[in-house]
Amino acid sequence: MRVNTRTLLPFTAIMLVLLIPSAAWAQHKHKHDGQKKAGMAGMESEMSMMMRSPHHLLMTAHMKSMSGFARALRDQAVRPKALDVEFARAAVAELRHNLDAMEAIHQTHMQAMSAEMKSKMQMMEKMDKDRSMVKDQV
């Protein structure tokens, strides 16, 4: 028996169009259990406390300053005129200064942190890797 591919192909396409969104919706409609919600609520309160901490505010200020100096250096570097060497040295010096200040703030914050909180903050290891990469680049 020969299968008519002209009718089979549109039928298969219609079935895929109908089934894939419903499968995606079924995967999306999962419900969280109460225990996970309680853990997430605790994490949200810890996150809001961190966002208001003086360490975080200082780190944010240094990051904004670094961003400004890096942007100014980039803007000067892409211009057709030659880059002013003194300007570049001053911008890089400020980048290093901010990076060193951020590292000192981070060390102070880590020393003040409890062992329980350190165990919760496993993602900080990734941040340390990122920070060392930035330090190598500067």
Contact 70, 95 (CB under 8 A): yes
Q: Is residue 94 part of a domain?
A: yes
Q: Is residue 38 part of a domain?
A: no
Q: What is the pLDDT of residue 86?
A: 93
Rounded-to-integer distance, Cα 50 and Cα 56, Å = 7
With 0.75 as the threshold, say if the pTM is over it: no
Q: How many domains does the chain have?
A: 1
Torsion over CA: 104, 108, 111, 114 (sign): negative
pLDDT tens digits for 83-130? 899 999 999 999 999 989 988 988 888 787 777 777 766 666 666 677
Q: Is residue 4 part of a domain?
A: no
pLDDT-wise least confident of 12-16, 32-36, 66-70, 89-93: 32-36
Q: What average pLDDT is seen over the chain?
A: 75
Q: Is residue 42 part of a domain?
A: no
